[in-house]
Amino acid sequence: TIIAIDSIIVANVTDAGANFTIQQIPRGQSTGDQFALFNEIDVRKNASMVISDAPIYLNRGDSLYAQASIASALVMTVYARRT
């Protein structure tokens, strides 16, 4: 099964700017800069953004890893479908 991620919405729920990194980790691998899809993307305070202008395809066993610069500052919603 392949998963197509159509969009990712990121909301900064704090009064401070924050940034995030998203990596696509292939099956059997661990996180690393070589897997970065989005790296240190800034989100203004109390703002939202939609990222991904084309589908991101995850193969069986792949994973999506996201990390924010400030704990609990960002909320991410991922819209995906099986293809």
- Write out residues in the chain with pLDDT < 70, as ranges: none
Q: What is the pLDDT of residue 53?
A: 78
Q: What is the pLDDT of residue 52?
A: 78
Residue type, 53: D
Give the rounded distance of the alpha carbon of 52 from its chain centre.
9
Give 33's Cβ-side CA count (13 Å radius). 1
Residue with tokens 């993307």: 41
Q: What is the pLDDT of residue 5?
A: 96
Which structure tokens are listed for 52?
């991904």
Q: What is the pLDDT of residue 42?
A: 98
Q: What is the pLDDT of residue 35?
A: 97
Q: What is the pLDDT of residue 38?
A: 95
